[in-house]
Structure 1
């Protein structure tokens, strides 16, 4: 029995060994199959990486150290008609940070602040702008670093991913002068990015915001280039290769005369107003001034809170371009156009006479419409009425014309419509009519409103530019130009190309003598003994035709018997105006000037206009001297 048990045990041991061996071989087989499959997959993956997608992953690998970046072109310069620099570029340096190379951006910014390279304003601006950049882009932190800051950073640079980069900084060498013409550039906003070509503006930080800088942004900007930048593991640039060079923006030559601009700005210093001078022969703007003025350099790298508050809180609204946006009653400067309407419509002739007792009354109406001269002008014809600026004559003429004919004739001179000058923001003004009042005031038109429209008061509102354009048309006997500021463009090859001018419009003329009579009235305003601007003719070296104007800011009610300037708030006083052209034969330039709340046009506006015109003709004289 015992031997049998031993035998059974031996047989069980043999069976276990066989089972274990079988299990082991089975597991080894599975392991070998698994290893084979893994090896196969690995080989396939390696083949895919190294052979099939070699170029793709090679590019990915290179992108870790080599990036293709845009080259921002140098912005075109802006000159006046004589080659004086109005806007240019200066090499400067900025501090930048690359996100993918900086482990802790917040900590790095704080360290830069502690080292004196940036401040809280820079950090705030950076955090606002960071979302507009990809991780491999160099994001500006601070602009226009001085030489000491640059040297200090380069010597002790311990900031990984932070670098100093050169760039061209926009500067306006004449400071405040001509700001409303040139405009300014400032940092590109999210709205700007939607307007301009994304590909060409990739890397562009500054764009034109106002004036010529905005109007001709595309010409001034140029075309982006491309470059390859190789960085080391610390994010520092170790090699740069230009793939496609950037094309510099075009230089612009404006029709503006800087000498006349500065003279006009000086004459209006401390005042609110505008002066516009136009070349009568082609519609080019020689002077376009609005005061007060401000410094465009403030905006280039971000305006300070102090300067921004100064502009925003000023009651004088320096950023308003009064030349193209300010709306004013034209006052008596509209009378030559009204006189021409009466002559062309046949309502009056050049010998028609009206008696002026110092006031005008409509039939069956109690109200008196006063003339500026209380004692009246007596009997006056159309030339006399312009020369002496007789209100009664034009009350009567406006009444005879009616508002419809008056509106239609003034419309020919571009009142109530934009002149389409080549800077943004122009105001079309207001040329009232029955329809206009019904739509805008929801009231009917009254006869008395026709009368005051005839002397440039009431609802009618014009810009100084519109007055200058209309005066140019009078000088030209009906040629109405679209005013322009761009004279020539210059590409990088130094070839200057004249800017294409739009064709002019000829105002219909029924009788050329009518225009001559109106012009003669404007001449006599300067030279006749009773001319409202007769003081201007003293010492004139050129002939001049003109029209003074004094425009009420508010109407006197029946309880106020007399206008006493000294007792009125300064901003309620009359505006002073003057329009004119010279010389009277073969005219060259036309001028329009408005000085807000200055009072009488003949004593306040006309002398200023004379001094601006003197600059032009003195330069003409000097240019002809041997």
Structure 2
């Protein structure tokens, strides 16, 4: 039986092969067309989109912080300057694992847990993409070296040279200038974020806060090209920032030194004003603090000590401290009595050492328990007789006293550029009804007559009242900044006080003559500061009661806790013929105004009016001890 044999069909195989090659070729062509189409789509139709994305990876817009404006005193002495500093900054977008980087950084710099927590808070603060956050400022050489050596382990971390705020006078000007500190989330809600994109600091308190917009300037913009690690390769374009405006103050740094030296060792405040301009010449609150501690981030332990200290070093007593003005207001009470026809220059009463209301058994004591005998308006001012002013206040009544005193700025904030200044308290019937739910009693009017009771005033308000008195009714509002840049600082008050007018000009002379005799007569309460004086001073001492004493009980400071003792006050102006300076001094728990506050005032008056006689080594304590002997 024969086998059936098959042979290859070469023609068929070739045909199949050609078909397969053709299909494969078409598939390759199709793939090429898809790739070409995709390339065309990406390169042509989406060119703008991907170019922008590429540029964003390669180019970044960075904010250039402006240089903060400087602050000078009236003679060009610098009070706030900018010094070069090395700061540690961090860009979260370049770090990858932020927490890990911060842990490494904390280990390298050997930071405490509190410092590490603060650094973490700064790193995670909300900012624009690729905007740097300030982690640490004012790095020392060792810290710079440690970060530089370990930079390969710290993506996103950089060391930047920047200008940082510095206050050459430290505590001497702390309450006036305030300070700058790191911007918080709360701060960013109150400002234009775009203007603070490259700025790590903002004004906190005082002039730094009040004039923040002018001092800060305008931010600049810089477009830079970077590599994959974020390092800057070149600057592509740049719009320079506008430097902040510098400020010149009415303040005199040398007079400020004298005032601070005079108040050394006391808790208290002093405000000195030029009656011609309203410019504040000196403004001291003691104790004080060093504002430089806050610029780079204050140590938590130091901050805790500042805010828990019973002496309140961060509390500005000049504009926020509220004290009974005591006898410093007796000249104004006398002026009110003259204007309302309740007394005249010759009206006299007999002072047995006390005053008694009709149908009232209580005795309102004069500071001198045996009394001053027969007194008129001038003598009552000179010896600071309380009984005369009890009687005057009773006859005037609170309904006439309150509006009259408000004319001199009591109970009103009249400061033009001092943020946080208190309006004090000038009480009356409506106030007591609203706040105490009680009627006004006649005995409370007597307390008002000697500057006690509910009446509270700041040292700034007392000094301002002396300015109005020195100007015989003409108002100039207190202010601290004189020049802003090259221009006069223009401040438009919303409610400018009206000038005080009286029916007879001689009324001014009658009360001022009494204040002159307080200093220059042999019976005046401030007579001990008149020795060797070369100008005519008008002044008034005051002693403000802190803790009440029982009826008939005699005040004995030695039996009281130091902080329960009387405050010492003095207010006045000089020279009387052409006033150049008016001031107020309050010394807490220091006893009588004649023995403590008046010598302090004399030092400041001498420094301003006869500077060649000033002894640079003397303090208020020296003068007080000398006067007590």
State the TM-score, normalizing by the size of structure 2.
0.90
CA distance in structure 1 between the aligned counterparts of 2:184 and 2:428, rounded to whole angstroms: 41
For 1:312 and 1:93, how far apart are their aligned partners in 2? Answer: 29
- Residue aligning to 1:138: 132
Is contact 1:533–1:547 with CA below 8 Å preserved after alignment?
Answer: yes
Q: Give the secondary-structure state (helix, strand or coil) at the position aligned to 1:158.
A: helix
2: CA distance, partners of 1:145 / 1:37: 63
Q: What's the CA shift string for 1:249-284, capped at 9, x where partnerless?
A: 111111111111111112212211100000010100
The correspondence for 2:85, drawn from 92, 101, 107, is: 92
Confirm whether residue 294 of structure 1 aligns to residue 284 of structure 2: no
The correspondence for 1:497, drawn from 469, 478, 487, is 487
Matches within 5 A, 1:366-445: 366-445=361-440
What secondary structure, in the 3-state scheme, does the structure 1 residue paired with 2:422 have? Answer: coil
What is the alpha-carbon distance in structure 2 between the residues aligned to residue 179 and residue 483 of structure 1? Answer: 19
3-state SS in 2 of match to 1:178: helix
- Please say if 1:564 is aligned against 2:556: yes
Separation in 1 of the partners of 2:461 and 2:199? 36
How far is the alpha carbon of 1:155 from its aligned partner? 5.3
* Residue segments in structure 1 that go unaligned for 5+ positions in a row: 1-5, 491-495
CA shift in 2, pair 1:392/1:32, >3 Å: farther
Q: Does 1:308 align with 2:308?
A: no
- C-alpha separation between the residues in 1 aligned to 2:28 and 2:422? 82
Task: Note if 1:598 corresponds to 2:590.
Answer: yes
Counterpart contact for 2:285–2:316, Cα < 8 Å: yes
Query: What is the Cα deviation at residue 122 of structure 1?
Result: 4.2
SS at the partner of 2:109? coil
Q: Is the 8 A contact 1:358 1:374 kept in 2?
A: yes
Are 1:580 and 2:580 an aligned pair? no
Q: CA RMSD in A?
A: 2.8
Out of 187, 190, 202, the position equivalent to 1:192 is 187
Q: Indicate the residue corresponding to 2:58 in structure 1.
A: 65
Q: 134-143 vs 68-77, which deviates more?
A: 134-143
Question: Which one is further off, 445-454 or 549-558?
Answer: 549-558
Secondary structure of the corresponding residue to residue 554 of structure 1: coil
More moved, 34-43 vs 238-247: 34-43
1:329 corresponds to which residue? 324
> What is residue 526 of structure 1 aligned with on the other side?
519
Residue number in structure 1 paired with 2:151: 157
Deviation of the 1:382 alpha carbon? 1.1
Q: CA deviation at 1:156?
A: 5.5
Note if contact 2:516-2:537 (Cα within 8 Å) is conserved in structure 1: yes
Matches within 5 A, 1:92-241: 92-116=85-109, 120-131=113-124, 132-154=126-148, 157-159=151-153, 160-241=155-236
Counterparts of 1:246 and 1:596, CA distance in 2: 47
Query: What SS does the corresponding residue of 1:266 show, helix, strand or coil?
Result: helix
Distance change (3 Å), C-alpha of 1:395 and 1:37? farther
Instruction: Rate the CA distance shift 1:499–1:39 in 2: closer, same or farther, 3 A.
Output: same
Q: Distance in 2 between matches of 1:524 and 1:59?
A: 82
Q: SS at the partner of 1:274?
A: strand
Checking the alignment, whether the CA contact within 8 Å between 1:122 and 1:142 is kept in structure 2 is no
Structure 2 residue 240 is the aligned partner of structure 1 residue 245:
yes
Which residue is equivalent to 2:271? 276
Partners of 1:367 and 1:39 in 2: CA distance:
112
Match of 1:548 among 541, 546, 549: 541
Native 8 Å contact 1:122 1:141 kept in 2 = no
Displacement of 1:134: 3.9
Give the Cα separation in 2 of the matches to 1:441 and 1:324.
25
Give the distance between the partners of 2:610 and 2:33, measured in 1 at CA: 94
Separation in structure 2 between the aligned mates of residue 43 and residue 120 of structure 1, nearest angstrom: 58
- The 1:515–1:60 alpha-carbon spacing in structure 2 relative to 1, beyond 3 Å, is same
Aligned residues: 604
Determine helix, strand or coil for the equivalent of 1:511. coil
C-alpha distance after superposition, 1:58-79 (max 9, x if no partner): 1210211220010001111111
Report deviation, 1:384.
1.2
* Deviation larger for 591-600 or 227-236: 227-236
Change in CA separation of 1:36 and 1:509 when aligned onto 2, cut-off 3 Å:
farther
Rounded to whole Å, the distance in 1 between the matches of 2:503 and 2:36 is 95
Gaps of 5+ in 2: 615-629
Q: CA contact under 8 A between 1:95 and 1:141: conserved in structure 2?
A: yes
> Are residue 466 (structure 1) and residue 461 (structure 2) matched?
yes
Which string of whole-angstrom CA distances, capped at 9 and with x for unpartnered residues, describes residues 194-236 of structure 1?
1111111112111011100100001110100011232222222
Give the Cα–Cα distance (whole angstroms) in 2 for the partners of residues 595 and 229 of structure 1. 58
Partner of 2:625 in structure 1?
none
The match for 2:343 among 342, 348, 353 is 348
Contact 1:161 1:236 survives alignment (8 Å): no
Separation in 2, partners of 1:32, 1:482? 94
